[in-house]
Amino acid sequence: MADKILIVDDEPFIAEEASEALTDEGYDCIAVNSVDAAMKSLKNNPDIAVIVTDMKMPGKSGADLIREVQEGVDQDMKFVVMSGHGGSTAEINCVDIKAYPFLRKPLDISELIGSVKTVLG
């Protein structure tokens, strides 16, 4: 069975592009556009292994998502973070994003695929 990946980005084009690329690599992907939709997807899909999330989104950020998952989801979740703003050195909302692979936007699809493979081990 393919590893399931949740992609969270408020820009539908980016979420779909990432989903298509990872699906082509044999992963099962779910693409959503907000933190609240991501949390709902996690409840409905306990087999999600990796979350690829944008950091800067309206309302709740990728850091908010990481914190909510760490506090409220039982499984040990892996993350890949991406952003078109700033670097990977920030601690945002008490989340140290240096702990996760960081991708700059515009996304390099080969880097995305490599990061997902790395976190899955």
HEC sequence for 35-46:
HHHHHHHHHHCC
- How many domains, the chain? 1
Range of the domain at 15: 4-120
Q: With a cut of 90, say whether residue 2 has pLDDT above it.
A: no
**pLDDT for residue 74:** 73
CATH number, domain containing residue 38: 3.40.50.2300
Per-residue model confidence as pLDDT tens digits over 80-116: 999 887 655 555 555 677 788 999 999 999 999 999 9
Q: How far apart are CA 32 and CA 50, in angstroms?
A: 14
Per-residue model confidence as pLDDT tens digits over 24-49: 999 999 999 999 999 999 999 999 99
